[in-house]
């Protein structure tokens, strides 16, 4: 009776849009949360979605001040990645909410973020990890300790046995690879999937578009329809991946194309994997649309649905803190900092994009302008041009936002430049340095 009374209190609080209710709601068990959700009508569910998103937005906004205060201390050594565990938990709560509402499974994509110091927290909310090969599969198995789902564009004979040891499912990119390794996978007890090209994508940059012309990723429909009937008995699920940092309305259009081509082949499968690229934890993401799409698809085809977000797990939950080493002049002020675009945030040059620095603005929006550059010998090691309220000085600290994803996993030791320390801000405010790098890390990669 006490539990039922608590649930009724939470339901009433949600109905009157009481933001304070979320502490109690998130602390409920999975079964209790589902009882709350079942008691709410459509309007009340939308209100709950807004409550969860608005609360998360407020918590993330307050984190900027915290990052600046930490950077300002003399004891914080730069360059360093700083991951805020409380912010990751807010992202996890969003993903958990999608799971609760739909019954889908969500796996974190290790390719975007693999700092396992935060895995004990993350594993309490989502179902496991997805990997792109042997090392990621092993890391997910050993450190996340839940399900591992592996997709590789092509597998090596020398590695496939170990990959199957660590993987709950393995997804093949061609019928040749399925024929070569499928029986071995079945004997190991792994479920088998095929990655297909859904025939539609809206990613603007071809470098990041899995469905761009001539893409090697995913079996095209003309080949699939000829070969699948001969291999159907071996296949447990289909996988597609066509998004990159996109909203659920794009997923809706991709799903229409996927169903147009593959509808006859879905029934009888165990699951369909909607891949990654879902920016579920972004402020403007339409969560209710995603929930509707998943529930409709599951009901229509009688399959489980998997999602593989990577960025969404740690979106805006980490920063890179750097110090200004020197300021030179060549037509404009140029700051050389101890962090590098080339070595520490390579997507800045690859995409390219301009990362945000807290308390900075676009060119000429504030009084003082400065070009921010890295210490490497690469002439193009330029992070961007920024404006500030005050002129930068040597020794100033700069805080680059949204640096947990695709930075730590892609950083290099080009020029022998040290990798930034990896630090975690734990719940309660303690900063823990979980990894420091030095000469041995550089040397041991060379020979």
Asked, for residue 300, whether it belongs to a domain, the answer is: yes
Same domain, 34 and 163: no
pLDDT at 209 over 50: yes
Beta strand ranges found along 159-211 (DSSP E) = 169-172, 191-195
Domain final residue pick, 74, 94, 119: 74
For position 3, what pLDDT does the model report?
55
Buried b (16+ CB within 10 A) or exposed e, 167-184: bbbbbbbbbebbeebbee
Asked, for residue 79, whether it belongs to a domain, the answer is: no
Same domain, 174 and 283: yes
| CA nearest neighbour of 37 among 125, 95, 99 | 99
For position 7, what pLDDT does the model report?
83
Beta strand ranges found along 230-307 (DSSP E) = 237-239, 271-273, 304-307
pLDDT at 119 over 90: yes
**pLDDT mean over 416-421:** 97
Structural domain count, the chain: 3
Same domain, 217 and 107: yes
- DSSP, collapsed to helix, strand or coil, labels residue 20 as coil
The mean-pLDDT minimum among 34-48, 232-246, 289-303 falls in 34-48
**pLDDT mean over 70-78:** 96
Domain final residue pick, 271, 290, 314: 314
Same domain, 246 and 169: yes
The average confidence (pLDDT) of the chain is 96
| CA nearest neighbour of 112 among 318, 405, 401 | 405
What are the φ and ψ backbone dihedral angles of 363, each rounded to 5 degrees? -55, 125
Residues 217-248 pLDDT 10s: 999 999 999 999 999 999 999 999 999 999 99
- DSSP, collapsed to helix, strand or coil, labels residue 222 as helix
Same domain, 150 and 232: yes
Asked, for residue 81, whether it belongs to a domain, the answer is: no
**pLDDT mean over 108-116:** 98
User: Whole-prediction pTM value?
Assistant: 0.96
CATH code assigned at 154 = 3.20.20.10
CATH code assigned at 379 = 2.40.37.10
| CA nearest neighbour of 82 among 409, 407, 324, 425 | 425
Alpha helix stretches (DSSP H) within 103-247? 119-122, 134-139, 157-166, 175-187, 221-231
CA dihedral 305, 109, 321, 387 (to 10 degrees): -60
Same domain, 345 and 236: no
Asked, for residue 90, whether it belongs to a domain, the answer is: yes
Q: Are 71 and 337 in contact (CB under 8 A)?
A: no
pLDDT at 30 over 90: yes
Alpha helix stretches (DSSP H) within 40-151? 42-72, 85-102, 119-122, 134-139
Question: By residue range, what is the domain housing residue 50?
Answer: 2-74
Query: What are the angstrom distances between the C-alpha of 10 and each of 25, 81, 94, 95, 289?
Result: 7, 38, 18, 20, 24
Q: How many residues appear in the chain?
A: 447
Asked, for residue 109, whether it belongs to a domain, the answer is: yes
pLDDT at 320 over 70: yes
Query: What are the angstrom distances between the C-alpha of 115 and each of 63, 106, 135?
Result: 20, 18, 13
Same domain, 181 and 268: yes
Query: What are the angstrom distances between the C-alpha of 286 and each of 18, 92, 221, 253?
Result: 21, 16, 29, 14
**pLDDT mean over 240-257:** 98
**Residue 102's CB: how many other CB atoms inside 10 A?**
20
Q: pLDDT category, 109, cuts 50, 70, 90? A: very high
Token couple for 53: 């998103």
Query: What are the angstrom distances between the C-alpha of 280 and each of 95, 284, 331?
Result: 7, 9, 43
Same domain, 430 and 364: yes
Same domain, 344 and 282: no
- Say how far apart CA 313 and CA 346 lie, in whole Å: 20
Asked, for residue 152, whether it belongs to a domain, the answer is: yes
Q: pLDDT category, 5, cuts 50, 70, 90? A: confident
For position 1, what pLDDT does the model report?
40
Preceding peptide of 79 cis, ω within 30°: yes
Same domain, 418 and 284: no
Asked, for residue 80, whether it belongs to a domain, the answer is: no
- DSSP, collapsed to helix, strand or coil, labels residue 326 as strand
Same domain, 47 and 170: no
Residues 147-160 pLDDT 10s: 999 999 999 999 99
β-pairing, 237-239 vs 271-273, is parallel
Same domain, 304 and 322: no
Domain final residue pick, 314, 347, 380: 314
Asked, for residue 63, whether it belongs to a domain, the answer is: yes
- Say how far apart CA 391 and CA 435 lie, in whole Å: 33
Percent of the chain surpassing pLDDT 70: 99
């Amino acid at each position: 009776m006490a539990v039922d009374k608590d649930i009724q209190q939470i339901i009433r609080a949600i109905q009157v849009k009481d933001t304070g209710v979320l502490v109690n709601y998130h602390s409920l068990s999975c079964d209790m949360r589902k009882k709350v959700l079942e008691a709410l009508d459509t309007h009340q569910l939308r209100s709950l979605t807004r409550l969860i998103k608005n609360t998360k937005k407020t918590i993330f906004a307050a984190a900027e001040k915290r990052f600046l205060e930490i950077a300002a201390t003399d004891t914080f050594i730069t360059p360093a990645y700083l991951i805020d565990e409380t912010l990751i938990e807010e992202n996890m709560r969003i993903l958990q909410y999608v799971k609760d509402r739909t019954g889908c499974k969500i796996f974190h994509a290790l390719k975007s973020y693999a700092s396992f110091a935060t895995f004990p927290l993350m594993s309490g909310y989502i179902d496991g990890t997805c990997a792109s090969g042997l090392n990621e599969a092993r890391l997910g198995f050993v450190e996340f300790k839940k399900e591992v789902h592996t997709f590789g564009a092509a597998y090596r004979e020398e590695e496939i046995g170990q990959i199957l040891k660590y993987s709950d499912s393995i997804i093949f990119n061609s019928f040749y690879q399925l024929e070569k390794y499928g029986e071995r996978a079945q004997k190991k007890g792994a479920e088998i999937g095929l990655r297909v090209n859904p025939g539609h994508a809206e990613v603007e940059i071809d470098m990041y578009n899995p469905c761009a012309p001539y893409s090697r990723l995913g079996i095209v429909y003309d080949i699939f329809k000829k070969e699948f009937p001969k291999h159907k008995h071996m296949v447990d699920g289909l996988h597609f991946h066509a998004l990159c940092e996109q909203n659920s309305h794009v997923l809706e259009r991709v799903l229409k194309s996927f169903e147009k081509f593959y509808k006859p082949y879905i029934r009888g499968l165990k699951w369909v994997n909607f891949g990654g690229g879902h920016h579920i934890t972004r402020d403007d993401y339409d969560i209710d649309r995603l929930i509707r799409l998943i529930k409709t698809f599951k009901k229509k085809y009688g399959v489980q649905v998997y999602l593989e977000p990577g960025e969404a797990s740690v979106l805006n939950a980490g920063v890179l803190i750097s110090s200004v080493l020197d300021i030179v002049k060549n037509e404009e002020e140029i700051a050389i900092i101890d962090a590098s675009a080339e070595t520490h945030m390579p997507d800045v040059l690859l995409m390219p994009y301009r990362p945000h620095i807290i308390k900075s603005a676009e060119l000429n929006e504030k009084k003082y302008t400065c070009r921010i550059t890295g210490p490497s010998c690469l002439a193009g090691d330029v992070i961007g041009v920024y404006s500030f309220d005050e002129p930068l000085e040597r020794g100033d600290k700069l805080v680059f936002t949204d640096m947990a994803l695709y930075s730590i996993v892609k950083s290099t030791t080009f020029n022998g430049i040290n990798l930034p320390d990896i630090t975690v801000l734990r719940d309660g405010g303690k900063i823990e340095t979980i990894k420091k790098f030095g000469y041995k890390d550089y040397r041991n990669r060379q020979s």
